[in-house]
Amino acid sequence: MRGNMLKAKRNDLAHSVARQLSVVEANAETTLCSTAELMRLMTAAGMEARFATQEGHDALLRITASWNAMVSSRGEMIDTHKALLDLAQRFGLNERMWGGDVEKAMQGAGLSVVGQAA
């Protein structure tokens, strides 16, 4: 009986972690989109203002470095899923939260899937 309570507690905790991971991932995706829009706007504004190409180049380099760091962070989130799936498998926890049923985990976090990768 005590083992079942511990397993249920672990599954509850894993569900909380999965929900928060989904929130962090959604925020990261939003930030990537916003940063891409900023990069587009910076370039378009420079063109429309008829600035020489070198004007604002340092700022564009910095935002690009920021973008690259965010893309790397996104990869770390993917690796986090893999590590948590491994942990769930080792302890017999609900694995669906770590990749098999992402849509359900996202809905639990108040998010929704808007498209699927091919």
- pLDDT at 37 > cutoff 80: yes
Global pTM? 0.71
Residue 117's pLDDT band (cuts 50, 70, 90): very low
Mean pLDDT, residues 96-109: 54
Give the span between the Cα atoms of 99 and 82, in whole angstroms. Answer: 8
- Placement of tokens 């973008």 in the chain: 67
Mean pLDDT, residues 7-13: 87
Please name the residue ranges forming H helices in the chain. Answer: 2-48, 57-91, 102-108
Looking at mean pLDDT, say which of 60-64, 76-80, 111-115 comes out highest.
Answer: 60-64
